[in-house]
Structure 1
Amino acid sequence: MLHFIKVNRFLKTLTPLHFKNLEIVPVTLDGSYSCLSTCNVFCNSNNKVSSYSGVNKANKVSRNVLIEKGLTEEKKSKAMQAYLERAQKYNAFMKEKTEEFNTGKRHLANMMGVDVETFTQNDVDAAIEYLFPSGLFVPGARPLMKPPEKIFPPKKDAEFDDSGRPFHFLFYTGKPNFFELLHEFNVHLQNLNDYEDKMIRRQLQPDPNVKLQLTGSVWITKEDLETRLVENLTDKEYSNFLSLLERIILHPYVYNIKDTVMSVRKPIMNTKVDISKPSKPSYDKDGRAYITTTACPRKSARATVTVWYPGTGKININGEDINYFAHVQPREQVLFPLHFSGMLDKVDIDATVTDGGTSGQAGAVRWGIAWGLRSFVSTDMIEKMRLAGLLTRDVRRRERKKPGQWKARRKYTWKKR
């Protein structure tokens, strides 16, 4: 019966003829030898050497040892090498951008005078809008500061090692992330069934005071799930996923995995006022339609604006025409909604404004005019006005002076001596 003999125990018995087809490589890390050959070395009971063609297990093991100890390199195709380089380059790029975002977020929190640990993304958006106000029509062109994963399209990490072997055990399903998620929820369901059986044997019932509250949230959409998994799903696969989730939430002990269930649900956002549905206008005794907007705010100024339709372009502000504002800039502010909507010569404006300065009064009248024009323009024009920022209240206020500073932002001039 043939049996395998380790090379390092059999080296002294070999003659130079035996080394003809063998390549002996010393491994200096542990003092042993490794054999790479086109044949396999065996020995029978008479200590005679025989060969067997092909690559056997011993050759593979010895080659892996050499690769691990850095004595040789693993050959890989150009396609695999290019794939790994792209994956590594993308990961390095995202790591760099994440560090830049965290650094910028820390500086922004210091500028706003808040704790960086409690500085959320909503706070970041509000700070950017406050520090960099923009009148650009397209929201995507305005300044923003978002995490890199929300700006740059996500990509999967390297799915293979240097030898071409896939990392994920479900790689050959074609959608490993999705089927791994299904597997995890299925395991949770089995664990809940086992826990229920255990409680039944103990003659215990579920706690009626502890329930999973799903009110105010819905299941994650197919598009959001695809974005999270970085995989494209069919309607059938998404339906199967929802069926599994519905089975889980019907389990009497589902509250034990509350965090897991809520991870695939998203809250229903509070609906805001639909600005595309304006109020119906009123009519005077002559049949003219009009809309009155009260408490139009801007800084400390408050205005009451009435828009009459049809009209001739007459503007009345506190009993005066547009010359109520002495400078050109506040006049342009008041006329901008009328120019933008093309209603300059089609409506009349009556406005009463109190408190505040020139800039605040002009801003209050401008917002009141824009808000009233919704009842006399088309839906497409309302959307354009919204994108232009005419229908958004400007809640900015004058920033207070800080102690130890010259003004709100300006510091005292530093002098060395």
Structure 2
Amino acid sequence: MLSIGELITKVQSLRLARTVAPLAARWPTVLSSRMIASESTAAVAAPAEQQKKVVKTSKAMKSYLERAKAHDEFMRIQNTEFKLGKRHLANMMGEDPETFSQDDIDRAIQYLFPSGLYDKRARPMMKPPEEVIPQRKAAEFDETGRPFHSMFYTSRPNYSKLLYDVVENINNLNGFEDRMMRKQLKPDESQKLEASGSEWIHKDALEKILLEDLTDIEYDNFVLAMERLLQHPYSYREQEFINRYRKPLLAKTDADQLPQPQFDADGRAFVTVYECLRKTARADVTVTVPGTGKITINGQNITYFEAIQSREQVLFPLVFADMVNKVDIVANVEGGGFAGQAGAIRWGIAMGLRSFVDADT
């Protein structure tokens, strides 16, 4: 016989078993439904998060892209016009357009548009657009507007970076010099850089390299910094960096070598200048010293030129050098018009007089 307490305990355990059994049977279904619900919620939330991560293009990048697109379109049109003009020019010269090179273009322009201008940059030319139109700087920031260059906010990052590199090279050379001094070693004088045959590039050339506009003060600061680097005892270690911003001076040896006078049967000195060019005119001019001021042009006197202006052209070098009635001139000229022939003779007289006057004249 069970006591009343034991009977109550058994009844409670039976009731608990009847309550837990259905829940245990249903538990996997509840778990699976909750997992499905959480997965579906995550799947729905994923596109929303992706939409939130879409990066908006900054106004600066939009403005740059618009300018770059307009520039590319402009360059495309210019290239098309250049190629079309190249074909027309080749047809005019009777050449094959497919093999018509830039050298052929330069010779054709010089033939069709002869010019006596001293500065070649002022003469007519036909070059590819990439050589004539200034280059544009690439985008200096990403789509969010964040600049690529660490010195972007200096307003001239390339110029600032150049000065930074100069100072860094000087510091490196100073450190190397300290190490050599501790070893009691002196710099080799034979390796010292020579600056006599070259000079620093001009301001406009530096601006083309940096793609930035510089003031005169900024260019002077660049020259001072580079001079300090050049004067360092161990500057030869940075020779490649220094030569990048130097250009050789034009050799004047050939230009300063004057033709030596020869002597005729009468013992008079004379100089003959050949191939005197002016437009399409060609002349050979002989200057004889001493003389009586006699001028012979193609067997005639100065009245060979009917125009007063052409006569003045021929006489100008003699008047300028104060050699009127002191020399004799014999000129043979052909080709071109009277103005071109007078210019060719004038050039020949001026070149011939150099051997008979001092350098100051």
With normalisation by structure 1, the TM-score equals 0.48
State which of 34, 41, 57 in structure 2 corresponds to 1:76: 57
SS of alignment partner, residue 212 of structure 1: coil
Call closer, same or farther: CA 1:210–1:147 in 2, change over 3 Å: farther
Offset of 1:182 from its aligned partner? Answer: 1.2
Superposition map of 1:204-283 within 5 A: 204-270=185-251
Say which of 114, 117, 123 aligns to 1:134.
114
**Structure 2 CA distance, aligned partners of 1:196 and 1:124?**
54
Distance verdict in 2 for CA 1:167–1:353, change over 3 Å: same
Query: Is contact 1:189–1:248 with CA below 8 Å preserved after alignment?
Result: yes
Shift of residue 266, structure 1, vs aligned partner: 2.5
Distance in structure 2 (CA, Å) of the matches to 1:189 and 1:262: 15
Counterpart of 2:357?
none
Query: CA separation of 1:160/1:373 partners in 2, compared to 1, >3 Å: closer, same or farther?
Result: same
Alpha-carbon shift at residue 185 of structure 1 (Å): 1.6
Partner letter of residue 352 of structure 1? V
Match of 1:297 among 275, 282, 301: 275
Displacement of 1:84 after TM fit? 1.6
CA distance in 1, matches of 2:198, 2:181: 31
Question: Counterparts of 2:276 and 2:226 in 1: how far apart (Å)?
Answer: 49
1:201 Cα offset (Å): 4.3
Q: 1:359 aligns with which of 332, 335, 341?
A: 335
Residues 165/94 of structure 1: CA separation in 2 closer, same or farther (3 Å cut):
farther
The structure number with the bigger radius of gyration is 2
1:35 aligns with 2:11: no
Distance in 1 (CA, whole Å) between partners of 2:302 and 2:217 is 63
Residues 1:86 and 1:341: Cα distance change in structure 2 (over 3 Å): farther
Structure 1 residue 149: Cα displacement: 5.1
- Larger displacement relative to structure 2 (139-148 or 221-230): 139-148
SS of 1:215's equivalent? coil
Q: Choose which of 283, 306, 310 in structure 2 pairs with 1:337.
A: 310
Cα distance in 1, alignment partners of residues 204 and 191 from structure 2: 32
- 2:46 pairs with one of 12, 18, 24: 24
On the 8 A contact 1:128/1:143 being kept in 2, the answer is no
Instruction: Please state whether the residue corresponding to 2:275 is helix, strand or coil.
Output: strand
Distance in 2 of aligned mates of 1:190 and 1:96: 49
Q: How many residues align?
A: 275
- The alpha-carbon distance between structure 1 residues 317 and 159, as it changes in their structure 2 partners (threshold 3 A), is same
Match of 1:55 in 2: none
The letter for the 2-side match of 1:134 is P
Structure 1 residues not aligned, in runs of 5+: 1-10, 26-33, 38-58, 68-73, 112-118, 275-291, 325-330, 375-417
Find the partner of 1:317 among 288, 291, 297: 297
Q: Distance in 2 between matches of 1:157 and 1:205?
A: 46
Q: Please tell me whether the aligned partners of residues 293 and 371 of structure 1 are also in contact (alpha carbons under 8 angstroms).
A: no
Structure-2 change in CA distance of 1:189 and 1:353 (3 Å): closer
Q: What are the superposed Cα offsets for residues 240-295 of structure 1, whole Å, 9 maximum, x if unpaired?
A: 33332233223221101111112122233346979xxxxxxxxxxxxxxxxx9853
- Find out whether 1:85 has 2:66 as its counterpart: yes
How far apart are the structure 1 equivalents of 2:104 and 2:241? 28
- Matched AA of 1:259: E
Partner of 2:161: 180
Distance 1:171 1:217 in 2: 32
C-alpha contact (below 8 Å) 2:314/2:345 kept by paired residues: no
Q: Percent identity?
A: 36
- Measured in 2, the distance between the counterparts of 1:250 and 1:141 equals 38
Q: Which has the higher helix share?
A: 2
Matched residue type, 2:225: L
Any idea what SS the aligned residue of 2:161 has? helix
Which protein has greater RCO, CA pairs closer than 8 Å, 6+ apart?
2
Letter of the 2:199 counterpart: V
CA displacement at 1:89 relative to structure 2: 4.7
Residue 150 of structure 1: how far off its partner (Å): 4.6
Partners in 2 of 1:16 and 1:155 — Cα distance? 52
| Stretch deviating more after TM superposition (224-233 or 297-306) | 297-306
SS in 2 for 1:367: helix
CA contact (8 A) 1:305 1:352 kept: yes
- Find the counterpart in structure 1 of residue 355 from structure 2: none
Report the secondary structure of 1:218's partner residue: strand
SS of 1:23's partner is: helix
| Counterparts of 2:337 and 2:215, CA distance in 1 | 56
* TM-score, length basis structure 2: 0.54
- Give the alignment of 1:113-132 within 5 angstroms: 127=107, 132=112
SS in structure 1 opposite 2:61? helix
Aligned equivalents of 2:342, 2:224: Cα separation in 1: 55
Give the secondary structure class of the aligned counterpart of 2:286: strand
